[in-house]
Amino acid sequence: MTEFNNTPGQSLKIINGRLVLPGSDGLTDASLVVADGVITAIGKAAEHANAATTFDAAGAVVAPGLVDLCCNLREPGNGQKGNIASETRAAARGGFTTVCASPQTSPVNDSGAVTHLIRDVAQARSPIRVLPVGAITRGLEGELLSDMAGLAAAGCVAFGNGSRGVRNARILRRCMAYAQTFGLTVMFSPENQALAADGYAHDGLVASRLGLLGIPEVAETAAVMEMLLLAEETGVRLHLSQLSCARSVEMVAAARARGITVTADVAMHQLLFTEDALAGFDSRFHVRPPLRSESDRQALVAAVRDGVIDAIVSQHQPHDSAAKQAPLGATEPGLSTIESTLSMGLLLVDRGELTLTTLLAALTSGPAAILGETATLSEGAAADLCVFDPQATWTPDQHSLISAGRHAPSAGQALPGVVRLTLCNGKVAWGAESR
């Protein structure tokens, strides 16, 4: 491989890779040329094009850059759990070129000032695109509307309430109606707080045996139903974040069939793990929504396959070690996943549960469409791409992880899928020399 440097205007030719092209179910052996931040040629045209440097992608897949709808960058914040620089670099290592920044920061992203701060820091320190999601209620308190129109003007691409709930259905209805007025997308994690109460684990076999406080499925399904009915009435563009139950997926499919504009995502770890992960009180797997039963997991995978779930997200939640160093119920929820999301997906491909093209669609074009964007390898498109070797393996651990959060789900276990090159707008966000 020739050293590819970042001089603007310089061109790069990627050869010997297997490309993920729009409209194709398989991979296409072809070359691709990038110049001035866009893809200038693919296939035959690329073979003959001249470029300043060449990247040999032999054995690797060349895919559009991954897009994450739910990522916690922890900035603004006190820095202990990471910051925009550390977490976006980790994201680039994971093959992501676009991440939506959760509004759940300190302070909360409920004002134009915070949105501008996020964008400015990202501009200066992030190798990839950061799209802020605005808080739909002030302080995420679930009571008063935030200045949504102003936040949208400042650069927020969607609105949600983080992992916090909205006080009641009346406020939820008004959030939706107000967002609809300005054509804004709302993203909600469905959870009925009264039913979830103090729970922190799936209310099932493992919780019963270990005496964990359970969150029943109905805490999610009741909220999904409420949100679907309110979306139907208000006409808002609703995106349901991080579904965890088989029954939720059924309701989304039925709502779509009725013509309601609703999309949905699932966190990658929900496709791979179940309640059994908590069997040894492993606080890493304290996540919200909780990891549920094997039949739920299978239904979620099927929903990705069938397109009922549009996107797979990282739900990256980096923490300092103290946040996880306590008895299970006293720990903070969330996994550090942004670097291993693609690898976890490849495990599903290895197990035959998803095809590579379905997996990549759910990590690229699926989430992009929800943001009103595209993510495809086509001539003239922005050069956001991810070159990864699906056969090579790496092991997430204390030393190999870039994220400030070291609580990766498969820590110490070799995972398939090493990202060799991430380009964002034609610039190297992650490459072999990045480590």
Stretch that binds other proteins, among 21-29, 63-71, 207-215, 260-268 (CB under 8 A): 207-215
In the complex with other proteins, which residue's Cβ is closer, 1 or 213? Answer: 213
Contacts of 216 (CB under 8 A, 6+ apart): 195, 199, 203
Residue placing its CB nearer to other proteins in the complex, 153 or 197: 197
Q: Find, among 249, 119, 237, the residue nearest to 182 by Cα.
A: 237
Among 46, 328, 342, 387, binds other proteins (CB under 8 A): 328
Taking the least distance from each CB to other proteins, the nearer of 112 and 329 is 329
**Rounded Cα–Cα distance for residues 211 and 206 (Å):** 8
Contact call for residue 153 and other proteins (CB under 8 A) = no
Q: Considering only residues 68 through 127, tell me which ones interact with other proteins, judged by CB under 8 A.
A: none
Q: What is the DSSP secondary-structure string of 121-145?
A: HHHHH-SSEEEEEEESBGGG-SSSB
Q: What is the nearest approach in angstroms of other proteins to the Cβ of residue 332?
A: 9
Size of the site for other proteins (CB under 8 A): 28
Q: Are strands 28-35 and 12-19 parallel, antiparallel or unpaired?
A: antiparallel
Q: Token match 């590579």: residue?
A: 356
Q: Give yes or no for residue 411 binding other proteins (CB under 8 A).
A: no
What is the crossing angle of helices 356-363 and 294-306, to 10°?
80
Task: Please count the residues of the chain.
Answer: 435
The residues in 212-231 that bind other proteins, with binding defined as CB under 8 A, are: 212-214, 216
Nearer to other proteins, 186 or 212 (CB): 212
* Residues contacting residue 231 through CB under 8 Å, at least 6 positions apart: 176, 238, 255, 260, 261, 262
Dist CA 202 CA 279 (whole Å): 12
Q: Which is nearer to other proteins, 244 or 331 (CB)?
A: 331
Structure tokens at 94: 């994971």
**CA 251 to CA 210: how far, in whole Å?**
31
Stretch that binds other proteins, among 55-63, 197-205, 306-314, 374-382 (CB under 8 A): 197-205
For other proteins, the binding residues in 251-310 under the rule CB under 8 A are 276, 279-281, 283
| 329 makes contact with other proteins (CB under 8 A) | yes
Nearest approach, Cβ of residue 277 and other proteins (Å)? 9
Asked if 12 contacts 24 with a C-beta cutoff of 8 angstroms, the reply is no
Q: Which window, 199-207, 344-352, 356-364, 393-401, contacts other proteins (CB under 8 A)?
A: 199-207
Residue type, 416: P
Site string for other proteins, 155-194 (x = CB under 8 A): ----------------------------------------
Q: By C-beta, is 323 or 415 nearer to other proteins?
A: 323
* From candidates 327, 352, 380, 412, binder to other proteins by CB under 8 A: 327
Rounded to whole angstroms, how far apart are CA atoms 328 and 212? Answer: 9
Q: Which of 205, 432 has the CB closer to other proteins? A: 205
Chain contacts with other proteins (rule: CB under 8 A): 203-214, 216, 276, 279-281, 283, 322-331
